[in-house]
Structure formats: structure tokens, C-alpha cells
Amino acid sequence: MDREVFQEQHGLLGSSDAMRQVVDKIMQVAKTDITVLMQGESGVGKDVTARAIHNVSQRKNNNLVIVNCGAIPEGIIESELFGHEKGAFTGANESREGYFEKADRGTIFLDEIGDTPKNVQVKLLRVLESGEFFRVGSSKIKTTDVRVVAATNQDLWQLVQDGIFREDLYYRLDTVKIHLPPLRDRQEDIIPIFRKFVQESSSRYDSVFKGFSDDARELLISYRWPGNIRELRNVAEQLVVLEKSQFIDKSTLQKYLKGRQHEGSADNLPILSENSRTKDSASDPDLDSKDRELIYRALVELRNDIADVKKMFANFIYSTFSNKNIKALPPSVRNEVDNHEVSDMNIDVGDHGTLGMQSMPEQQEINTPEESEMEQFFGDDKIPSIEETEKFLIEQALKKFDGNRRKASDTLGISERTLYRKLDQYGLE
């Protein structure tokens, strides 16, 4: 089958060299039963790729079961994957098939495989190697015939080195690896894909899109697209619906971009025009109105970022400090923590039943490793930047929970999606 026809049929968008290589590999492996491991950031289209592999395979007439391993609570993931018998645990009022049984003779897509708990990884290895598994609460061996496609946005080999992911399971999954490039690494695909999404949305909502200016086009290409294809589709749809029949310029487009451009280091900060950068302040002290508007917007968004960091910081302190010894922090930081509204944070204050330790004897105060690192980070006189503080808190939360991003994001009071974006921003992958 022709590559372009294949892409059109299965929704694999893009004509860049990187995307053509991906599609060629998909077409090579799709008709076999070989295990495929896809790597790529959130939003690059791993689920679309898995569907394409299944739909041209010999198993296309049977089930494709999609499982997001990172979205299933640790306590029930084994039951979800392998099923359970009646009475196996509280609430198990009847026997139930797991995903591997439902996918028998078909394909199972294990998304976010890196978030699978260690005890479940052992069982995954067995079912991948022999097709055998046990339902929870049963000693009877069951078998299944499935083709496994797995995906991750993490470095699985690094997880192996960190002791989080089993090495034998890694080698079993890493038969054929497909790397799905982020949108920012294939800039030539951005405008054609954007136009396709605009056409689809215009047709769906009976709207007219009048196009965009050259500077808006440049912004589309230079923007980092942390949400990748998913974010591009979302922006196209918003522009069609909310800016109906309007010609889109740079300032209009800027309102719908939540991440950052390639230039600059902070989220949401717009790029000033070259003219405004090179103006002689003595001869032309006033910025033009558009640049001034961008600066005002940047200041508002920066204020929101500061508020987010404060909340993240207070969440981290209360959930991490074993003895809640806030007095070790610098006065300015301590005041922020003392004034924080704990009722808004939805956090566990531990077994002490109190958020402060002022009532405890002085000699009982013992610094934990997290507190020592916190003191070293801030020091007596050092005032770290917002980005330094945010990066530090994220690193500490991931360290505390052995790289578990779901627990880290809960502790920091941010969504997993925001955490992934921050990891990319600070190069913490």
C-alpha cells in the first residue's frame, strides 16, 4: 500500500522525513505479531499509531483493547488487567474478565507502561512470554493469545537503571521500537496539520476560517507545542469556534497558546518583535501599543505563575516534612507557608494531627534529608528564582516518590499534564 494512502486511511498526519520513517516502520511490522514499543511525548499520537497497527494486522477482526496503565490506581490494576473471581476482595460481588481476556486473539495496547507497579510487571512478563495468567483470587491458569503494543513517554531504560522497571520485562517489550517525534521537531508538518484541523472544525461547526497573518504563521511554527498534535487540534478548534469569521493575527493567536516559544525560558511569555528590541529608547521611548499589550499580558501571567509556585511549595512542605519543622526555612518563605490556606490543598498532614510543631520540645526536632536539602537550596541569604524553586520542588517530589509522576503531581498540587510540561521545560526527562 502507498504510504500516503496508508496515512490518510489511519490518521497518521505529516509528510516530514521523521514522520515518513515512522510510517514506513509501522507498515513493516503491522502485519506481524511482533511486540511493538512506542516512545514519545504526550499528545504525539501513540493511540492513533496503535490503532493503525491493529487495523492492518491479521487480528483486525478481533478486539483492540486500550489500557492506560498510568490512569489505573495501583490497588486495582492487577484485577483490571487479569480479572478476578467472586469474593477475591471486598466489593468483588461477581467474577470479571480482565483486559487480557477481552483482547484474546486481538491486540492489547498498554499505554504508559512505565507507570506499572513492580508486582504487576512480573505478571505482565509471564503473560507476554507464555500467554498464561491467573485471575485475582484464583489458582486456575488461564491463557490468552494477544499481540502487545506498549507505549511510554518516559525513558524505560533509565527506569530500569533506577530500579523502577524490571530489566527482563524491558527486553521483552523492546523488540521493535518506534519513536514518535514531537511536533516541534518536525516544524514543516505544523501548518499542513493545522490547516487540516481547521477544515475539519469549520465543517463540523458550520463556521468560516478566514486565515491568519504571516506573523501568526511564524508563531505557530516557533511555538514549542508541549501538548503536540492534541494541543494543535485544540487550538485550531478554539480559533474556529471562538474567533468565528475573524482573520487571525499574532496577538489573537497568542491568547490560545499555553506553553512557550522556542525562544525564552518561561512559560506563557510572548516574544517581543525585533523592532521593539532594537529601538533606541532615547529617540523612541514609547513602545508601540501591541508590544505594550504583550508586556501587560506577560506580567499578569507571571503573577499567576508566582501564585502556582507558592501553592506548590506549601503543598510540598506539608506533605514532605516529617516533623513539619517550618522554623528552619528563611523568614520570607516561612511567612508564605504560615499564611497558606491549608483547607484548599487537599493534603494529608500525617499522623501528628497538627500542621505545626511549635508545641513539640525543641530537642525532638530532627531534620529529614528533604529538610536539609531545602536549607542548602535556600541558604541564609539566597533568594532563588521562581524557575529554580519550581524545578527544585519537582525534583524533590519525584525523588520522594521514586519517580512516580502521579503521586508527585498530587503532592505538588498540579495536574499530571502540567507536570509533564514542566519536566520538558526544565529538561528533567
Q: What is the DSSP string of 290-346?
A: HHHHHHHHHHHHHHHHHHHHHHHHHHHHHHH-TT--GGGS-HHHHHHHHTS-GGGT-
Position 333 scores a pLDDT of 52
Residue 336's identity, in one-letter code, is E
Of 195, 203, 247, 244, which Cα lies nearest the Cα of 221? 195
Position 237 scores a pLDDT of 92
Positive or negative, the CA dihedral 83, 89, 95, 96 is negative
Give the three-state DSSP class for 422. Answer: helix
Contact by Cβ (8 Å): 251, 213? no
H helix count then E strand count, the chain = 19, 7
**pLDDT tens digits for range 319-363:** 555 444 555 555 555 555 555 444 343 434 344 333 333 333 444
Position 63 scores a pLDDT of 94
Beta-bridge mates of residue 178: 38
Residue 274's identity, in one-letter code, is E
Alpha-carbon gap, residue 60 to 362, rounded angstroms: 68
Position 48 scores a pLDDT of 94
> Grid cell 477475591 — which residue?
88
pTM, two decimal places: 0.60
Beta-bridge mates of residue 150: 37, 110
Q: Where are the domains of the chain?
A: 3-181, 184-263, 296-425
CATH superfamily of 3-181: P-loop containing nucleotide triphosphate hydrolases (3.40.50.300)
Position 170 scores a pLDDT of 95
Q: Which helix (H) or strand (E) holds 150?
A: strand 147-152
pLDDT mean values, one per 10 residues, the chain (429 residues): 86 92 93 94 93 94 94 90 89 89 96 93 94 92 95 93 94 94 94 93 88 91 92 93 85 81 42 43 49 60 62 57 50 52 40 39 48 60 73 86 83 78 77
Residue 190: burial class (beta carbons within 10 Å; 0-12, 13-18, 19+): buried
DSSP designation for 36 = E
Of 73, 147, 158, which Cα lies nearest the Cα of 114? 158
Position 421 scores a pLDDT of 77
Domain 184-263 belongs to what topology?
Helicase, Ruva Protein; domain 3 (1.10.8)
The phi, psi pair for 398, rounded to 5°, reads -65, -40
186 φ/ψ sector (left φ>0, alpha ψ -120 to 50, else beta) = beta
